[in-house]
Structure 1
Amino acid sequence: MGNMTAEIVAFILTMSGWILVSSTLPTDYWKVSSVDGTVITTATFWSNLWKTCVTDSTGVSNCKDFPSMLALDAYIQVCRALMIASVCLGFFGAVLALVGMKCTRIGGSQTAKARLAGLSGIHFILNGLCSLTACSLYARRITSEFFDPLFFAQKFELGAALFIGWAGSVLCILGGLIFCLSCSEGFSRVKDSYSGSTSMVTKRHKGFYQPPGFTGPQDPAENSRQFGKNAYV
C-alpha cells in the first residue's frame, strides 16, 4: 500500500510539473523590459521563443515573429529544442506511468509494471532536466546582457515563464525520483519473495520430507540400512 501511495504522489507531481513546463512553451513573457514615463509606463517590451512584442499604455500589442529559424541566435534554437524534447519526454513518461502503476489494471506482471514505472521515472527526470537547462540558459543570457556595461542595446529582465518553467522542472525531477525509488523497492520485494520460496522448495526436496517433531534418522542411506537390519529380525 505504501508503494502504491508513493506512485500516486509521484504521478501527481510529475503531471503537475509537465503541465507547467508545457505551458511555458507558448507563454509570452520569457523576458520583459519597460520604458517608463513621468507618470505611467509608456511601453512594455517582451519576448519569448517565437516572437518579440511591444505593448503600449493603452494595452495594444504589436508583435513580430522571428523571421527565420536559421537566422536566430543559437541560444534560442537550443532552448526551443530542449523545451520541445521536454514536452515529448513528459508525454511518453505519462503513458508509461499509467501502464506501470500498481493501481492500474494494465501492464502485465508486477515485475513488468515495476520496470515500466522506473522507465517513466527516467523519462520525467530527463523531462525536468531539459526544461531546467533551457530556462537556465535563457536566464543566463538575459542576466549577462543586463550586467554587461558594454551592452548598450535594450536590456531585459527575467519573465514569469522562466519561473514557471523552473517550478515545473523541479516537480518533474522529484516525481521521477520517487518513481525510480518505488521501482527499486518493488524489485527488492519481488527478489525477497522469490528467494524465500526457492529456499522453502529446497528444504522440502532435500532428501525425504521430515514432518515437524520427527526424530528418526535424517540420512536416506541410514534409513535403508536401518530397514535392512529390521528385515532379518
Structure 2
Amino acid sequence: MNKRLIQILGFLTSSLGWTFVLCTMAMDYWRITQLGGQGGSFIIRVAWYWSNLWKDCFTDSTAVTNCRDFPVLWSVTPFVQGVRGLLMCGLTLGFFGVVLCFLGMECTYIGGADKTKDKMLFAGAVFHVVGGVSDISAYCLYINRVARTTFAPSIGPGVLRYDLGPPIFLGLVGCFLILVGAMFYAVTVYRVIFPESKVIYAYGDGTYMSPGTRGQTYAGYYGQYGSYLGSGRSSSSKISKLSQTTPTKMSERDAFV
C-alpha cells in the first residue's frame, strides 16, 4: 500500500480513537444499577442509580433526576481521582501526538525536510502509544473498582452492585483505535529512522567488510589483463578473484607483421 495512504489511515484512526476517549469524559452512566421493576403490580416502580466521573445521580420512574456533584478536588474518592488524572494525561499526550503526526505526514507540505518529518511522525506515534496506555489504565482501574463490589460475596448495607455503562466500552474501543493508528505511523517510518546495517563483499577470498570501512577501499585497474581491489591499511596487494586475466586476441595484421 502507498505510504501516504497508510499515514492518512493512521491519522484518521488515531484521531477518531482520541475523540472517543474525549467524549467519555463528559458522558453519563459510567456505572448503573436498577432497583425495582419486579412484582405483580400493574404499576411498575423502578429507579436507576448511576454515576460518572463528576457526580452520582438517581432517576425515578417519572424521569426525574436528582444528582449530587462530587466534592472539591482534594476530597474526591481516590479511584475516581486516579481515573481522571490518567485520562487527562492520556488526552494531553494524544493531542501532541495528533499535532506531530499531522506535521510529519508525507502529504502535508509543512514540517521541514523528509527526514525531519519522519522523525516527527515517529515521535507522534510514540506519544499516541503512551497516551493510549494511560487511557487503558484509567478504564481498567474503573472496571476493577466496579467489579470488586459487584462480584464480592458479601457487601455492607446500602452498598449497590453496579454494572458497567456504555462510556467504558466506547473508551476501550477508542484506545484500541489509537494504538492501531500509532502502529500504522510506525510502519511507514521505522525503516527510514532505523535502517538495517548491510555487509559489503570486499574480497574474493570470502572476506567481508562493514559499512564503516567502505570509504577506506579503492579499486585500480592496471593494463588490460586484470583488476585490483585493495585496502589502504594492507601492505600487500591482492588480485581479485572476481576478475580473472583474459588474454587479448591478436589481429591477423599484427601476426603478419
TM bracket, shorter-chain basis: 0.7 to 0.9
User: What percent of counterpart residues are identical?
Assistant: 30
2:49 matched residue in structure 1:
45
Q: How does 1:1-233 map to 2 (within 5 A)?
A: 2-38=2-38, 40=44, 42-152=46-156, 153-187=159-193, 206=218, 215=224
How far apart, CA to CA, are the structure 2 residues paired with 1:83 and 1:209? 68
How far apart, CA to CA, are the structure 2 residues paired with 1:69 and 1:209? 81
How far apart, CA to CA, are the structure 2 residues paired with 1:65 and 1:8? 41
How far apart, CA to CA, are the structure 2 residues paired with 1:138 and 1:206? 66
Structure 1 pair 190/149, CA: closer, same or farther in 2 (3 Å)? Answer: closer
How far apart, CA to CA, are the structure 1 residues paired with 2:154 and 2:88? 33
Task: Give the structure with the higher percent strand.
Answer: 2
How far apart, CA to CA, are the structure 2 residues paired with 1:133 and 1:155? 22
Aligned residues: 207
How far apart, CA to CA, are the structure 2 residues paired with 1:88 and 1:188? 27
How far apart, CA to CA, are the structure 2 residues paired with 1:120 and 1:157? 36
Q: Secondary structure at the match of 1:119?
A: helix
User: Unaligned stretches of 5+ in structure 1?
Assistant: 193-198, 220-233
How far apart, CA to CA, are the structure 1 residues paired with 2:178 and 2:155? 36
Q: Secondary structure at the match of 2:57?
A: strand
Amino acid at match of 1:28: D
How far apart, CA to CA, are the structure 2 residues paired with 1:8 and 1:188? 22
2:245 matched residue in structure 1:
none
- CA shift for structure 1 position 150: 2.4
- CA shift for structure 1 position 206: 4.7
Structure 1 pair 209/78, CA: closer, same or farther in 2 (3 Å)? Answer: farther
In terms of Rg, which structure is larger? 2
How far apart, CA to CA, are the structure 1 residues paired with 2:45 and 2:185? 47
Preserved CA contact (<8 Å) 1:111 1:190 = no
String of CA shifts for 1:20-50, please: whole Å, max 9, x gaps: 0000111111100111233545211110111
Q: What is the TM-score of this pair, normalised by structure 1?
A: 0.80
How far apart, CA to CA, are the structure 2 residues paired with 1:209 and 1:175? 54
Structure 1 pair 128/41, CA: closer, same or farther in 2 (3 Å)? Answer: farther
Q: Secondary structure at the match of 1:46?
A: strand
Q: Secondary structure at the match of 1:25?
A: helix
Amino acid at match of 1:176: A
Preserved CA contact (<8 Å) 1:29 1:48 = yes
Task: Give the structure with the higher percent helix.
Answer: 1
Q: What is the TM-score of this pair, normalised by structure 2?
A: 0.73
How far apart, CA to CA, are the structure 1 residues paired with 2:13 and 2:124? 13
How far apart, CA to CA, are the structure 2 residues paired with 1:29 and 1:157? 9
- CA shift for structure 1 position 110: 1.0
How far apart, CA to CA, are the structure 2 residues paired with 1:20 and 1:132? 13
How far apart, CA to CA, are the structure 2 residues paired with 1:191 and 1:4? 26
Structure 1 pair 110/41, CA: closer, same or farther in 2 (3 Å)? Answer: farther
- CA shift for structure 1 position 215: 4.3
- CA shift for structure 1 position 130: 1.0
